[in-house]
Amino acid sequence: MFLKRSQTIVVLVVFGMCLACSLSVGAQQSFTSFDKIEQAIARTLPEWILLDRWPSRFPQYNYISYRWQVRKNEVHVWMVEEQNAEDAARTFYEIYEFVPHLANRPPPTQLLIGDKCYILESLKGRMDLLLKKENLVVRISGGDALSGQIAPRDAIISFAQQIASAIPSNRTLNTSVVDKKTPSHHEKAVEALRRRQYQEAIEEFKQAISLEGDSAESHHGLGLAYLQVGDKTNARNSFKEAVRLKPDWPQAHFDLGQTYYELGEYATAANSFEEAVRLKPDFFEALLSLGKTYEHASEHAKAVEVLQKAVLLQPDNIDARNFLGTALILTGQPQDAVTVLQEAARLSPQSALIQANLGRAYKLTGKFQESLTALLQSLRLSPQDPVAHNWLGQTYELLEQKQEALTAYKRAIELKADYAEAYYNLGVLYLILGDRRQAEEECIALKKLNSDLADALSTKIAQVLPP
């Protein structure tokens, strides 16, 4: 079963940002701190294997990340460099806005509490460890959210100790390698993007491309800036240039795919996401987006395949589980959908959408009472959801509670006047109740919305209640 997974330890090491971004074409900040940590881990924890080493994904942040593994445990180390821990923490909060799986959780407000090590239990089966030293802030999160087994504390603490010991006390950045000359247009653009001054960033990136060289990084940064001002067409064109200049850059393919997706060009979006995953098989965000795109294209079996991989990479990601549950329903695997969505509901009990999808999956497995409970919970959380009301009507019908079903269908139509499926279900229910006139009225309304459903209802009316 795809739910099997290894324990994963996630380490967020935040040093903050340098004055120059990793994408800058001019002189850059030294990465000696990163190298020291990498060497310290290799020297003191030789049993851990370095699997991946990723450069910065966002031009406004200068960071690097690693992935180590030993047996079934993994460690992800994320490092950003800054002048002090306070600035580093502010950068950490900013990064939360850019990384989807981090944005699902509230920011760790404990980051700036003293300079000691804190161990928190933020989720069942997960251990969080926070450490601050000089201008170093470390967050380590590890454990198995499914089994409830906490990851080995010794592994987490060892990494924290090695990371901290690699940074001398009273450490200062090596600024001697920073070029003091006037910043380039690319550097100005990166800084403007970091400050969220997007129009300025657009102009500076254009100048960089025109005067400093046709670089993939500048086109990519320009695409990000265009997205922030809502110009999806120019964003797409910029990302296409970035891909042309640097075809082996997974992030550029991903951002191009996201832009195609937002433009409604799903087939082309799928091609871009597929290429991003081909270049980087464990690219979680690309897998998630590819699964959503396949669903839009009604390629539900493909959606299941890639979303299962996404869930294996991040088992406690709510979006991945919810999309996978929907895809499993659409491929005729409702029991597997129930398993996936039950865990999603446990991780996010206040999600109306997950409760609604769980109710739908229960209904398809014949567990009508469980379906009713989940759908009612969904509507307590989100009373204005017409889809949940429609599914509630179907469940009431299966429980032989026809008057309650009528009320649910009518409410769905009140909330969404063009909800064709609800009109059809209401018309069929009137037929069951022997009310031909009301069934015909629903058929008339349905003809304006969906001719195929209207013809199907008209045929039922003629068969069930002849005039």
pLDDT of amino acid 463: 84
d(CA 80, CA 443): 61
Half-sphere exposure of residue 375: CA atoms within 13 angstroms, side-chain side: 25
Other Cβ atoms within 10 Å of 162 Cβ, number: 17
Give the pLDDT confidence of 137-150 residue by residue, as tens digits: 666 665 443 333 44
Give the pLDDT confidence of 299-329 residue by residue, as tens digits: 999 999 999 999 999 998 899 999 999 999 9
- What's the average model confidence in pLDDT over 34-61? 67
d(CA 244, CA 134): 42
Measure Cα distances from 146 to 9, 58, 121, 159, 282 in Å. Answer: 14, 31, 15, 24, 20
Pairing of strands 126-133, 118-123: antiparallel
pLDDT of amino acid 39: 72
- What's the average model confidence in pLDDT over 252-273? 94
Q: Is 405 helix (H, G, I), strand (E, B) or coil?
A: helix
pTM of the model: 0.63
Give the confidence band of 193 by pLDDT, cuts at 50, 70, 90. confident
- Phi and psi (nearest 5°) for 98? -100, -20
